[in-house]
Amino acid sequence: MPKGKKKAPESSLDEEMNDLLPVEEDLEVFGRILEPLGKGHFRVECSDGVIRVCRVRGKLRGRRSWLKNGDIVLVSIWPFKRDRGDIVVKYNRAQVQWLIERGYLDKSWATMEDLG
């Protein structure tokens, strides 16, 4: 492992993930990046079956965490335009596995091969 990187214990992942789950059932859904559209916008397939055009939220944009096809994200749906949204969280592999184990995501929808 690289210097300074420590594997997080399972309990800390549970605590971390509680902050990264959807809060409002009708306005936050899980999504999978389909393709980049440019200028911080992406086409995202959401877990409710709708394909939305989503933009990267400013706080996430400054973190230098690049999004690519197949990444699992949390989408905050715009209440005034339901076919648009903001990408508010990008999940890493361990977090996606945690979501699948806890039943938040369907394994067939968010398979690990899509995250390559």
Mean pLDDT of 105-112: 79
pLDDT in tens, 28-51: 999 999 999 989 999 999 999 999
Q: Which helix (H) or strand (E) holds 15?
A: helix 10-18
Q: Would you kindly state where each structural domain of the chain is located, as residue ranges? A: 22-108
* Token pair for 52: 């939305």
CATH number of this structure's domain 22-108: 2.40.50.140
Residue reference for tokens 């999504």:
31
* Token pair for 9: 């214990």
Is pLDDT at 55 greater than 50 in this prediction? yes
Instruction: Find out whether 28 and 74 touch, Cβ atoms under 8 Å.
Output: yes
Is pLDDT at 7 greater than 60 in this prediction? no
Is pLDDT at 114 greater than 60 in this prediction? no
DSSP letter (8 states) at residue 41: E
Q: How far apart are CA 116 and CA 112, in angstroms?
A: 7
pTM score, whole prediction: 0.79
| End-to-end Cα, the chain, rounded Å | 20
Q: How far apart are CA 37 and CA 5, in angstroms?
A: 33
For residue 11, what pLDDT is reported?
A: 58
Percentage of the chain modeled with pLDDT above 90: 51
